[in-house]
Every structure is written in C-alpha cells, then in structure tokens.
Amino acid sequence: MATDRHRLARRGPTGERGQHGRGGQLERAAAARIAGVLTERDADRAAHALNALLAECGARPRLSAHDGHGWHLHVDRGDDASWGEWFLAASALALAQILTEYGRVPWGECAADGCRVLYLGTGPGPARRYCSAPCASRSRVAAHRRRLRERRS
Ligand SMILES: [Zn+2]
C-alpha cells in the first residue's frame, strides 16, 4: 500500500468526502470490511474473503498519475472512485500480497485480555499474537500468576 500512502495522507484517515452522511457511512463500512479480514486467522478463509473483496471492487491493476503525482499502481475502478472504494481495493491487494509472501496469516486481533487492537505482524521473528510489547508482557505475567495460583490450589 506504500504506493498509495500519499493519497491516504492527502485525504486523511476518514477521507475528504465528509465524515457525515453517506460518504462517512461508506468509509466506515469499508474499514469494517477490512477489519473483518484482519480478524480472520485461517489462511484459506482469508484468501477467499480477499478474493471476494477484490472481485467486488472490480480490482484491475492500472497506472495512475492523478493530482500531479508520478505514475503509480492503483486497483480501484478509476480516478473518480470514492475513498471507500479505493481503500477497500488497495487494502485487499496489500493484504493479498502479504498473505502470499508469508504463506500464512501474519495479522490478527491482539490475544491479550481486554485488548481488541488489530495488528499486522510483518516484522522479522516468529508469528505474533499481541499488538504490542506491553500487551505481550502483561499476558505473560497474567499466565505466570495463573500457573502459580493453580499450583497452590
Ligand atoms: Zn494488545
């Protein structure tokens, strides 16, 4: 999604078409669809969900030089696509590339109690289960205390 980072920055995380009314609803719906994929831990189910999203978006690679930017890759319907359509198509393509690169699902919802943050574990090292180091250590401490309690009882 790096190729489209400028567009995110330009439009902001909620898009310039307004946070209220239909535009805002479409943007929230698009974010919810991607969040749904990010909670899918099974590679086959994630791949089918991404295929469905790409088909729905009419995703077809094309080069665009909109707004004075150099030629870069887009997979949305056209330069007049809404922010929600662009976000869905670009996110689905980025996640599809990550899934094929890793051969597994490297994303998920944080496994720490009470934390529902979605993470993208594309760094080096083993598969992640937590969104952050604080959540990982909080969970380790809780598991340790649980084991101590079990041993005492
Ligand atoms: Zn967390």
pLDDT-derived band of residue 16, with 50, 70 and 90 as boundaries?
Answer: very low
CB contact at 8 A, 118 and 107 = yes
* Residue ranges covered by each domain of the chain: 1-105, 106-153
Does residue 60 register a pLDDT over 50? yes
Distance 119 CA to ligand 1 centre (A): 8
Does residue 11 register a pLDDT over 90? no
Mean pLDDT of 119-125: 85
Distance 109 CA to ligand 1 centre (A): 8
Mean pLDDT of 74-80: 86
- Whole-model pTM: value is 0.74
The protein residues having their C-beta less than 5 angstroms from ligand 1 (an ion) are 110, 112, 115, 117, 131, 135
Please state the length of the chain. Answer: 153
Distance 126 CA to ligand 1 centre (A): 17
